[in-house]
Amino acid sequence: MASIRYCVRHRIAAFIFAYVIFLNGLVEGAPATDNSLASGTSPAGGIAFYAENADFYRKVTVLESLAWPCQEFCVSLKKLVADIRLSNASPEDKEADADECAKLIYDVELLRSASMDYAELRKMVNEYRAITRGLKRKQATPERLTKLKNALKNLEERFKAKENFASTTLNYDNASYYRDTARRARDILRKYKVQTPTSPDSHDQGSSADRGANAAELEPDLAGGAGGRHSGGGENVQASDPGNETMRTLLNDRSLLTRLDTVQTEAEKIEELLRAFTTKIRDTIPEDIQYNYDTYCEEFIRIRGAWDIYKRYNDISETLKRISPTSPQGIELIREQQRLELALDEYAYIVNSLYLGELERVVSHILFRLGLFEDHRNYTGPNLKDTTTSADENTPQDITGEGETTGGLCRTQASCGIINNVRNKKYAKEPSGLVAMGTRVIQTMVALGTMVVL
């Protein structure tokens, strides 16, 4: 009889102990309160690695900017093949030029393909950053988080097809090859006096030889970083090489300055609206507007960077019309223009006609939707107040995160997001880690004590 009671007591104790362990398992499986876990982002690797690498993103934008204008040479080069055969040059020169033209057509076709790959990589990185910003936004609904996590998985799968190309982009510098291809194409087209689609406008400041007797090549690669920045200092920069004619042509296109001015003005209005909103109001902005802004906010920064370069370049051009290019002031202004031509390497993809048109539509749409949101808010609930943050307390960093200045070209290089620093409403009542751990210890001690007593 005693042995039966002993067995029953031990079975009861074992049941209680197992129950406590089960409860502990539930606590361990509760939703995480740590931001990195709650975000649902995957560990570093794949697209995460490249999206967080600033040097990679810069290389992508520079190489895309150098590659896409070169495809304009393709039609001219293909027409030139027949012209070479009909020219009065010697048979040896004809054969050499025809071979060079064939090689250039092949190289330009490669650049055309590469420019599309760079554009796709850039858009994937922007999409990844938009998704991860949404996942880190603590007030997001469970449905929204699920949608973003699925989008992230889909993006990671799509990126696998581009990962080898991304690795090559990061580890090799093809900028010199792209510049050299443009230079070779112009040389052979000029030899046969073919007008290239990207020939400088009539108000161009001239070739390297026209700009001064001390002309020298200025062709930085991607590694230094300084070559792609506009330096306002007075360093001794010589005349630009023919490889910069593409950027010079783009900078002399006044219509692009007009379009950039319109886009950057609307982008400024978007940020002004967001700065005026309190944290509580920003919480109520529709998710699709948030996502669109998160996707393109870094492009807004680059639009401003491109606009700064265009505006300064054209201001200098107007000044040079009134002074002698060989005067001390004229020489220094021409050198500054050369630095601006190099600086545009990082932003020229913005003024690709197709992409600039896309940016114009996106910026106008976001501004229109935010205007409707503001009108609706003023009509239905203009007295919404945030007990912790006033509109006067909002800064650009409140909206877009930590910022940094990039060489004076862009006003703020930021990690952009509309809404930050908002408590997670769903899990606001979850116990902290210390409280949960203390609870588990007490439960375990009670179970052990029960076993001893029994």
Q: What is the pLDDT of residue 376?
A: 86
* pLDDT, position 161: 95
CB contact at 8 A, 334 and 244: no
| pLDDT, position 440 | 55
- For residue 193, what pLDDT band results from cuts at 50, 70 and 90? confident
Give residue 85's pLDDT.
85
**Cα end-to-end span (Å), the chain:** 16
Confidence band of 271 (pLDDT split at 50, 70, 90): very high
Residue 105 has pLDDT above 60, yes or no: yes
The phi and psi torsions of 403 (rounded to 5 degrees) equal -120, 160
Please state, as a whole number, how many other Cβ atoms lie within 10 Å of the Cβ of residue 288: 11
**Residue 360 DSSP SS3:** helix
The pLDDT assigned to 319 comes to: 96
DSSP 246-264: HHHHHHT-HHHHHHHHHHH
Average pLDDT over residues 369-387: 72
pLDDT band at 13 (very low <50, low <70, confident <90, very high): low
Q: What is the mean pLDDT of residues 252-273?
A: 93
pLDDT band at 240; cut points 50, 70, 90: very low
Q: Report the pLDDT value the prediction gives residue 281, as an integer from 0 to 100.
A: 85
User: Does 259 have pLDDT greater than 50?
Assistant: yes
Using 50, 70 and 90 to split pLDDT, how confident is the model at 91?
confident
- Does pLDDT of 203 surpass 70? no
More confident residue, 385 or 104: 104
Q: How confident is the model at residue 452 (pLDDT cuts 50, 70, 90)?
A: very low
Please, are residues 41 and 132 in contact by the beta-carbon 8 Å criterion? Answer: yes
* Rounded Cα–Cα distance for residues 168 and 379 (Å): 54
The answer to whether 217 and 242 have CB atoms below 8 angstroms apart is no
Among the residue ranges 43-52, 88-97, 156-165, 351-360, the one predicted with the least confidence is 43-52
In the chain, how long is the greatest CA-to-CA distance?
121
Alpha-carbon span 55 to 2, nearest angstrom: 77
pLDDT for the residue 341: 93
Point out the least confidently predicted range of 38-42, 48-52, 373-377. Answer: 38-42
pLDDT band for position 199 (cuts 50, 70, 90): very low
Confidence label for 381 from pLDDT (cuts 50, 70 and 90): low
pLDDT tier for residue 215 given thresholds of 50, 70 and 90: very low
Residues 6+ apart with CB under 8 A from 23: 440, 443
Taking Cα atoms as reference points, which of 217, 264, 251 lies closest to residue 337? 251
Mean pLDDT, residues 229-234 taken together? 37
Q: Three-class SS of residue 3?
A: helix
Model pLDDT, residue 88: 84
Residue type, 47: I
pLDDT at 284 over 70: yes
Strands annotated E in 257-305 = none
Sign of CA dihedral 198, 203, 207, 211: negative
